[in-house]
Amino acid sequence: MPHTDVIIQRYDKRENTESRALKAAGRFCASFSLKAPAGIVRDSRGKPFFNENGIFLSWSHSSDCLAIAVSHVPIGIDAQKHRRCNSAAIAKRFFHEDEAAFLSLNPEKFFEVWAAKESYVKYTGEGITSSFRSFAVADEKGMKEQVEGAYLFVLPSQPGYSLALTAKSETNITVSGEF
């Protein structure tokens, strides 16, 4: 089964996130006896990737949390700091109706749903567009395990944060670090 490493670190805007992601990729590659990637490139939408080794990456930062994911399969990761907000209004405006219905009964899951949605659009490379409402990561039963063939994982995180990963296939996930 493919493997994914998720590294949680303190985010500092003075430090270069790409160099931190490249170091994480180097450690990931070393653990599988692969040559470390030389650098990070971006596709036409700005999604970062490597040109070699079939290694994929994604990163996210929210407040003082930086999450970096490196994997054998295409991925997207998102971290969300829990903040005061009008979650019902946001869900009604930006989320799929199934998610809004789920959140009306489970408002404490708002940032979990938000992180899962963002991890999915990072996985696809679309980013937040008008299609953000066109798919659902939750329904009346709770968080979904898959969306349009991609696998969703809600990951353990620090108190006050939500962390989610979307991957092309099932994957063994190792989460390490803290901030």
Residues facing 51 on adjacent strands: none
Min mean pLDDT across 46-60, 133-147, 152-166 is at: 46-60
Strand order in the sheet with 150-155: 75-81, 161-167, 150-155, 146-147
Q: At what angle do helices 87-94 and 110-124 cross, to 10 degrees?
A: 30
Decide if pLDDT at 41 tops 70: yes
Q: pLDDT class for 131, splitting at 50, 70, 90? A: confident
For residues 152, 73, 119, 44, the Cα torsion angle rounded to the nearest 10 degrees is -150
Q: What is the DSSP string of 88-114?
A: HHHHHHHS-HHHHHHHHH-GGGHHHHH
Question: Please, which residues have CB within 8 angstroms of residue 102's CB and are 6 or more apart in sequence?
Answer: 109, 113, 138, 139, 140, 142
CATH topology of domain 3-177: Ribosomal Protein L22; Chain A (3.90.470)
- The yes-or-no verdict on residue 47 having pLDDT over 90 is no
Q: What is the DSSP letter of 34?
A: -
**Residue-range domain boundaries for the chain:** 3-177
Mean residue pLDDT of the chain comes to 92
What tens digit of pLDDT does each residue of 93-112 get?
A: 889 999 999 999 999 999 99
Max CA distance (Å), the chain: 49
Judge whether 168 and 147 are in contact, CB under 8 Å: no
Residue type, 29: C
